[in-house]
Structures are given as C-alpha cells and as structure tokens.
A and B are shown apart, each in its own frame.
Chain A
C-alpha cells in the first residue's frame, strides 16, 4: 500500500479536521466561498535563474548534476538552448556545442529567492503562500479592484517578474491546488468558475501532481495518464488501489473539501542576496544584481506601507573577502529608481580589492508611511521641492562622499573663527534663532574667511602682500575667549593691496605679534 506521505508534504492540508468524508464528489459538491481566487506563479527555471539573474549580458549557462563522466545537463538557459543544448544531455556533449558556464544547484539560494519573491508579491495581496520548491500562491480576489481587474493584475505581475529576472508560468483558479496544477501544466490558464474546473484540469498529465514514484507506477499500471482519467475512477477503487490521501487531494483540487493556506508572515527586516554565476571584478557590473534586489525591496516596502532611508549593502566572496557600504537617503523613500541611481553612482567610484561572487542588501530601519514631500536634509519642510532636492543631495553624496555637501550656521561668538560653523547633516534648522553679533555694519566682516590664517611678511613694520598693504586706520580689537583655552588677542584691520583687493588682516597682541591674513572683503 503506497503511503500518502508525499502528498501531504507537497500539498499540506492545514486543517485536516475540517475535511468531511464524502461519498460521491459530484453529487455533494458544495459551493465554494465566492471570494477565493487563487493565482499560482510557477517558476520552471528557478534553479538556474537564482544563479544567473544577477547578470544581464547572459552567457550560455547550464545546471549540471551527477558525477564524473556521467555529469548531465539538467537545465539550460536560453543562450545554451540556442546552441542546441537540452536537459538530459551529457555534459561532454554539451561542451562540444559551444562555450558554456557550468553551475551547481544551490537549493538554499532557491529557497531564499522563493521567500523573497513571496515578500515581493505581498504588494499585490496580503495572502501569499509558498509552494515548495518553485511556486508562489496569491489569493487575489480582494486585489482585483486595485489593479483594475485580473488583466491589470496579471500585466503588473508579468512585468514585475521580468524585472526581477524570472520566467514564470501562471494560472488562476478558484482553488489553490487547481491554480498550482494548471500553472505547472500549461501557461496562462484562467478559470474563474469552479464549474469549469473539470474541463480545464481533465487534460493535464499526471506529472503535475508530482506523485511519489510508487503511486505513479500504480496509476500507470491501470493505464491512467491524465487527471480526468484519474478522477473518473470510482472513489472506492481509487482509495483501495492507491491511498486515501489521493482521494483527499482530489477533493481539495476540485474544491470539495477546504484547503486553507497559511499566509506568509513577513519579517520586520528586509534581507536579500544574490549569488553571481562568476567572479565579478568591477563594481559597475553589480548594477543589475543590485537593481533586482532593490525591486524586491520596493515590493516589500509597498506591502508594509513603509519606506526607508538606509540601505546596507554587502559584497563578498564566500568567507574570503567582504566589502560593506551604506547608502543613506535624504528623504525616506520606497521607489527603486532613485535608490538605483544612488547605487550606480556609488558602484561607479568603488574599487574592489578582490573579485566578489555575491551581493546582499539589508534594510532594518523602516519608516511607516507613504512617499510625500518630506522633511529636507536639514529638517525643514519644504513643499513641492522634496523630489528634486533629494535627488540632488543624494546623488552628490553618493558620488562625492557624505561630507561633500554642507550647510552653514551662525554662532554667537566674538571670535571670528567661532562665529560660524558647518551644520550637521541631520541638524534641524532654527529659523531666526541665532543672530550674528556683527549684524550692524556690513563692512566689518569679510565675505570670505581664509581657512587657516596666513602669516604675512613685513617690511619696516608694514605687512606685505603683492607689495605693501594699505591699512585703514581703524582697528577692531578682539580680545576674548580666555574661558575655554582658545582665547585670542588680536587687532583687526582692513587692508588693500596695490591691485585693489580688500583684505582682513590682524596683528597678534601676544607672542610673536605676527601679521596674518584672515579674510577677503572684496
């Protein structure tokens, strides 16, 4: 007696207690809850795509399995298929057809990719459930209006999956299992009414059920090849020949017993990574992989109605080498395009010390809310200027460094070098707060301050710069700051060079009594 175990592991019925034994499927058909409409996204190439989708200019890649001379191609990408390489071919034969990249299956990466795809899909519906090992189920009835009907939703999904680097087959049906089987069997079937299920499912080959070999052999032995043929067997016969599990499975497929699915629970931080099919030496080559991760992030943020202002990136080569960098945003954002622009700028000026084979993105500070013209770099709210401003500031910072763009503030201090300071990036602005102590006369302070005062040579006691300086006979004595050990005692003068430049110079009252240039008036 074949065991029913494989069925329950592949199609877990989360509420077995609710299953009602029924004698005749057709006569006791119960109406389904009208609300449910399931969309299954089937990723036939997932094992290969998780390894190649980080690169755009694709080479011919094949997934291989087996040992030694028996190594076989189990999957080939479009480039490899164009060379005539097919699944099942011996690796040696495949190599004879052209230059190919051999890749080993990475099931952990597949699992992560599927989870992240599920999180991404949650922007379309809160009820997303994973179907191991290559499918994602979405309950979409409640989302149809938002996407202007099923066509709108499917168009959005198709475009999104393409941008993420996946080739998918999908189907829509009133029960989750029917959607799954249809998606595996044929591309793009849409069955909205449960009465049509029999007609659409009947022709599907039994492969879509992914039965255990023993169950498959039992059905083969009685000449059953399709779902329809299988269903036409007497129920008692089916249960006897195979297992009660198979009966129960058919009830769920056709909606005669409930098949509740647990919705994915979303983690509170976003983490995603991409394996690269080969070593990457130039950071610029990581843009495509980064874009895929940013698209996943965008879906995750949409599902959470959240935004972020801090992207944490990590590039690595196994445990051998790692490179971390952060991208900070002026405004919390969700849109991947702006983030991509910044990533591209950052990667452009980055030099990798060693080649890398994976890229990861982590976001753990979520800001609740939706994009709106927000507070600016310095905490001031400016209406209708958010976008352009953020683009400018973030671009400049990612290319030239976070300290490259600065704002200034006044400080109430008599010492010229302490009467101003650079403002910190996140410091809020106090409008009209601090006034300069020298607002009285425009001609007493220069428009330029020399970063480090320059000592001037003197001749007969007169300071020189392009010849002797002419001093205005009015001096301003600044003798202050004794309380914090940065005290100074100086006599300031306005001086003019022979070429007409007006300067701010001082004579030290202590120590060496040097003449020094401190500013330019113009």
Chain B
C-alpha cells in the first residue's frame, strides 16, 4: 500500500475519517458542492484555512460572493495579514474569464496555501488546467459550486457534496457530507457534522 501523505487536519474528526489521507489535501483541486448557499461550505474549511495562514501561507479569495467578514474570520483563527481578496469589478464583460485567470495565478503562486473560488460554470478543460496548476505549486484549490454540478465529470481529485439536515435549533446547523470522488480512496463515504 503506497504511503499517503498526511492530510491537513480539518478540525472535524468525523470528516478526517472519511477524507483520503486523514485530512484535507495540501494541493490539487477540491470541489465542494452545496445543495444550497450558506449552509456551511466555508465553515467546513475554515479551521484548515486558519492553520495554513498561521503557517505563513497566503489564503486568497477570488471573487467571493459577499465580503469575507474579517471579525468572524479573525474569530476562527485566521491570520488576517495572510488573507488577500481578489475583487474584480462586476460590470466587466470579461469578468468570468478574468476571474478564472486570477484564480489560476493564485494557484500558481508558490506561497499561496489555499485559493478559493466560487464559480458555477467552468469547462472541463479549464478545470484540468487549474488542477495541474494547483498540483504543481502545492496550493490547495477550493472550488465552491452548486450541487447541480455534481453530474458534470471533473478532474478534481476530491469532490464532496454537502447538504443541510433539518435541525431542531435555528442556532446550529447539521451538515451531511458525502465523498463523491476521492482519488486513491473509496468514494461514497459520508458523515454528519454539527457546525
């Protein structure tokens, strides 16, 4: 059995148990497919991002849907001096291409620990390019997409799908996480998390 490089602890032991390598990968693309927005996709990766930032690596957010709110990020332990946001003007016609270009630059940037992207429509060819960029520079490429993209085949070595569970309390969320694809490991594993 080949030795698997130790993964980045996710901060959730139940999640570490179903991830290949016992944690998040440190390079390559990871797709997180959400059944609905705002159910916890970002919360799922925040402990790992905080750890990377404290290792001195950059966390680069490319065209996020809202303003990443620094008081909360600080609360989750993110070193804000290691956070960069690529903020492109929205009215630009070529904004989508520009976003993908900027994301690729972030992936190629050696000192970038994780590059985050929110994008529904990405061609397979483009995803392959991004995967190669992320793999060669040891950058963790996080792509947040709606669950409807799950049916599109993807070169990303790790794909997770998340779904909110009907919780009794409005103050907490329960999340169902299932592994849609994991290179070098078994797909179909799933777990339940309380965020």
Binding site for B on A (CB under 8 A): 378, 380, 382, 385, 388-389, 391-392, 395-396, 399-401, 403-410, 419-420, 429, 431, 435-439, 442-443, 445-451, 470-472, 474, 494-497, 499-503, 519-522
Contacts and interface: CB of A to CB of B under 8 A. Distances in A.
Nearest to A520: B38
A395 B101 CA distance: 11
B39 to A, nearest CB: 5
30 contacts: A382-B56, A385-B56, A391-B109, A392-B112, A401-B89, A403-B87, A404-B86, A405-B86, A405-B87, A406-B84, A407-B80, A420-B69, A431-B81, A436-B70, A436-B75, A439-B71, A442-B72, A442-B75, A447-B69, A448-B65, A449-B68, A450-B66, A451-B67, A472-B169, A494-B171, A500-B35, A500-B165, A501-B37, A520-B66, A521-B38
Contact of B36 (A380, A391, A449, A500): A500
A445 B72 contact: yes
B122 interface: no
Given A382-B56, A407-B84, A472-B171, A447 B72 contact: yes
Given A407-B81, A446-B69, A396 B39 contact: no
A519 B73 CA distance: 13
Given A400-B102, A499-B164, A522-B40, A410 B75 contact: no
A522 B73 CA distance: 12
Contacts of B170: 470-472, 494-496, 502
B85 interface: yes
Interface of B: 35-43, 46, 56, 58, 64-76, 80-81, 83-89, 98, 101-102, 105-106, 108-112, 163-167, 169-171, 173, 195
A522 B195 contact: yes
A443 B165 CA distance: 19
Nearest to B110: A388
Nearest to A382: B56
B109 A445 contact: no
B19 to A, nearest CB: 19
Contacts of B163: 500
Contacts of B56: 382, 385
Given A396-B102, A471-B170, A449 B69 contact: yes
A510 B35 CA distance: 37
Contacts of A385: 56, 111
Given A500-B166, A502-B173, A388 B65 contact: no
B3 to A, nearest CB: 28
A404 B103 CA distance: 12
Contacts of B80: 407-410
Given A436-B75, A500-B164, A389 B81 contact: no
A471 B71 CA distance: 22
B43 A409 contact: no
Interface-centre pick from B41, B64, B75 (highest chain A CB count, 10 A): B75
B39 A499 contact: yes
Nearest to A441: B75
